[in-house]
Amino acid sequence: MTKVLEVIYGFGYGGIRAFIMNYLNFLDKDKFKVDIYVFGYESSPFTDKVKELGANIFFEPENNAAKKPWLFVKQLEKFMKEHGPYDVVHANTNLISAWVLLAAKKANVPVRLAHSHSASHFGESWKQNLYSYLRRFMIDRLATKKLACGQLAGETMYGKNAKFEVIANGISLDRFMYRNEKRIEELKHKFNIPNGAKIYANVTRMDPQKNHLFAIEVFREIHKIDPKAIFLYGGVTPKISPTVEVVKAKIAEYGLTDYCRYTGPVMDVEQLYHMTDLWIYCSAYEGLPFGPIELQAASIPVIASDVITDEIDLGLGLVHFLSLNDNPKKWAELAACIQKKQIPSDIIIKAFQTHNFDIRQGVKKLEAIYEGN
């Protein structure tokens, strides 16, 4: 049996956690035994689910990767030796993968995988970039294979001429295509949604990357067009750079409190998708996010910022791109004229398979990589 260690910062409601859980659902349990090492947090709302799927999850509350990488490497190497031996270490940690792979090398792990889940790895200062290039150099020499969630995410982390493999953010189509009318009504009641109101949303992690303040500017303009519209916002609030109070203050300043709903984390987000009419996905930077992919499986339209790779567009007519340089009024006018429509399931399935976003396709590729191929 191949023993795999997944390494990740936090294990909350974010996309990287979703990636691991999605693939864990479909990995061959007779061939692969998975442990998950979570640093920077001491618990997760998904612990029980991980265990149900036959994996172990371990928490290191300290996050030494940023300021004390030597200590991080020492802790992780010790963990690998005590809980291994591991055949594979899969670093789902962007450029922090350098330190994860160093620990794996010191622990004599034969298959060492770096994974880029973002398209933003370099800062504005020369010091930040020097440090980033150092870690890229280390990854290039320590990784036995380099992975990315998409082409743009790979090129920005490893370099445009680097060799890497794309492992798509595959999803279970059955889960996101299924519409549970009873649950949708429960959610409408929970969030006090008036009958007939058009529902816009940006329920994503509450940090600057997701650009919630811009989404509020857009909804402010939508409200002028459609005063009955409702806006849902706010997933998990991370320890680093939380923005929820700033967003709530801006909503109050614009007099929109009665028309906005803070959802907090939602476990069955697929039913929240089905409840909504359109998503404003205005991230300041991204790799290849799960949200727009999942929304297309649910047949929900999305307006996405053009910093997001066009790899998210599966050709179903559901994804519309605008620039963050366009004013919020332009976003609002487009949002207001897009009508929700149900795309036949066979067309959705074909599109996902064509673009390799069906999890059943992706898991075969990942299993081959874990086996050293």
Between the alpha carbon of residue 274 and those of residues 202, 288, 361, the distances in Å are: 14, 21, 25
Report DSSP state, residue 125. S
pLDDT of residue 287: 66
Please state the pTM of the whole predicted model.
0.82
Report the alpha-carbon angle 232-281-15, nearest 5: 90
DSSP line for 189-228 = HHTTPPTT--EEEE---SSGGG-HHHHHHHHHHHHHH-TT
Rg (CA), the chain: 21
Report the alpha-carbon angle 265-266-267, nearest 5: 115
Tokens of 113: 């995988």
Question: Is the omega angle on the peptide bond into residue 69 within 30 degrees of 0, that is, cis?
Answer: no
Contact 29, 52 (CB under 8 A): no
Q: Which residues contact 360 (CB under 8 A, 6 or more apart)?
A: 26, 170
**β partners of residue 152:** none
Per-residue pLDDT of the chain (373 residues; tens, 9 = 90+): 999 999 999 898 778 888 999 999 999 999 999 999 999 999 998 999 999 999 999 999 999 988 899 999 999 999 999 998 999 999 999 999 999 999 999 999 999 999 998 877 666 677 777 888 899 999 999 999 999 988 888 998 999 899 999 998 888 899 999 999 999 999 999 999 999 999 999 998 777 888 999 999 999 999 999 999 999 998 766 554 567 888 899 999 999 999 999 998 788 899 999 999 999 999 987 767 889 999 999 999 999 999 898 889 999 999 999 999 999 999 999 999 999 999 999 999 999 999 989 998 889 999 999 998 7
CA distance 283 to 197: 25
pLDDT of residue 290: 85
Tokens of 317: 């007519």
CA distance 81 to 116: 25
Laid out side by side, the sheet with 199-202 consists of 260-262, 230-233, 199-202, 278-281, 302-305, 319-322
pLDDT of residue 66: 82
pLDDT in tens, 279-325: 999 998 776 788 999 999 999 999 999 989 888 999 999 999 999 99
Contact 114, 136 (CB under 8 A): no
Q: Which ranges of 254-343 would DSSP assign to H, the alpha helix?
A: 269-275, 290-297, 328-337
